[in-house]
């Protein structure tokens, strides 16, 4: 199969990035870069990924271009660290993902066919289960990263359980479960038992995740956007307080709610 580069001199530019990283890690390179380890760079990889998400949500393509570069740097950095211990190098990383994409898309690069995205995902999971390192998994839930943010992990667990047949008959049944969980939480709130209250809040959140899955809504995105709306409206309250020569703590709840509703109305009109 003949493949072509999708963008100009991507190969040369990538080689230059690898060479820059080699220089940074060399004895004549940067003291900070030479001190880094896989462990010390973990948070940077996560932060750069979330900054890329912010750029996507802001529809800022210039910012996204820069953030994707930062993520690419993290990949090259980790590959360089691994090469220094003879674990693997950047070529192994690229060869690995190329082989994986070819293997997991037999409907594109092979003789098989797929009529819809769901069929593709089902086959993807089947192929994945036969790959090295996965054949010993005892549960369909194995492989969900434990360090994912809780909402993302809940969504992945929910999807895998549903694909295995552990599923509600329809979304209305999940909403009924939501009503049940709200009732149980209300009952526990009067008990004073923090452990049981925590359990019920967890049950409630997981049920909401399942409703989102049925509606094909990403819970992380939904919550991030809600936080953004809340922050924008709350800042309007702070601005109103400042305009009246007061601190926000000096405003009455009624005044705050009035400003909040105006800000909400402005959002709804967009």
pLDDT tens readout for residues 159-206: 989 988 899 999 999 999 999 999 999 999 999 899 999 999 999 999
Of 135 and 126, the structure prediction assigns the larger pLDDT to 126
Residue 183's pLDDT is 96
Owner of token pair 């992990």: 153
Residue 135, pLDDT score: 65
Other residues' Cβ atoms within 10 Å of the Cβ of residue 218: 14
For the chain, the structural domain boundaries read 10-104, 150-217, 220-268
Q: How many helices (H) and strands (E) does the chain have?
A: 12, 0
Answer yes or no: same fold for 10-104 and 150-217.
yes
Question: For 42-88, what is each residue's pLDDT tens digit?
Answer: 999 999 999 999 999 899 999 999 999 999 999 999 999 999 999 99
Q: List the CATH code of the domain at 150-217.
A: 1.10.287.1080
Mean of per-residue pLDDT scores for the chain: 91
Which residues, other chains included, contact 51 with Cβ-Cβ below 8 Å and sequence gap of 6+? Answer: 67, 70
User: Structure tokens of 7?
Assistant: 């963008």
CA distances to 60, 86, 202, 257, 265 from 260, in Å: 28, 58, 29, 5, 9
With respect to CATH, is domain 10-104 assigned 1.10.287.1080? yes
Confidence label for 18 from pLDDT (cuts 50, 70 and 90)? very high
pTM: 0.70
Alpha-carbon gap, residue 64 to 79, rounded angstroms: 23
How much is the average pLDDT of 114-137?
A: 78
């Amino acid at each position: 199969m003949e493949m072509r580069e999708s963008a100009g001199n991507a190969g040369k530019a990538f080689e230059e990035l690898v060479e820059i990283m080699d220089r940074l890690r060399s004895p004549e390179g940067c003291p900070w870069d030479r001190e880094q380890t896989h462990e010390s760079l973990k948070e940077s990889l996560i932060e750069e990924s979330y900054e890329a998400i912010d750029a996507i949500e802001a529809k800022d393509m210039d910012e996204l271009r820069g953030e994707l570069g930062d993520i690419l740097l993290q990949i090259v950095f980790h590959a360089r660290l691994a090469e220094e211990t003879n674990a693997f190098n950047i070529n192994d990383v690229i060869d690995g993902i190329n082989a994986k994409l070819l293997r997991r898309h037999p409907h594109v690069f092979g003789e098989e066919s797929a009529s819809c995205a769901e069929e593709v995902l089902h086959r993807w999971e089947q192929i994945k289960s036969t790959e090295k390192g996965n054949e010993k998994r005892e549960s369909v839930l194995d492989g969900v990263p434990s360090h994912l943010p809780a909402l993302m992990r809940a969504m992945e667990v929910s999807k895998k359980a549903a694909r295995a047949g552990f599923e509600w008959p329809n979304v209305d049944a999940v909403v009924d479960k939501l009503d049940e969980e709200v009732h149980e939480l209300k009952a526990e709130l009067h008990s004073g038992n923090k452990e049981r209250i925590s359990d019920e809040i967890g049950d409630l959140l997981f049920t909401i995740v399942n409703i989102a899955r049925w509606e094909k809504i990403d819970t992380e995105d939904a919550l991030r956007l809600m936080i953004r709306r809340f922050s924008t409206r709350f800042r309007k309250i702070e601005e109103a307080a400042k305009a009246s020569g007061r601190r926000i703590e000096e405003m009455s709840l009624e005044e705050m709610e009035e400003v909040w509703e105006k800000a909400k109305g402005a959002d709804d009109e967009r």
